[in-house]
Structure 1
Amino acid sequence: MYGRILKVYPGSLAEELELVPGDKLLEINGTRLRDIIDVSFAFADEEIEMLVEHEDGQQEVYEFDKDYDEELGVE
Structure 2
Amino acid sequence: MQIVRRVKLEDGTITFFLAFGASRQMCRLATTFSTQKQAFTYLQRHRTEFEHMARARLASGELEDGIVVLSML
Asked if these proteins are the same fold (TM beyond 0.5), I'd say: no
User: TM-score of the superposition, structure 1-length normalised?
Assistant: 0.32
Q: Which has the higher contact order (CA 8 A, sep 6+)?
A: 1
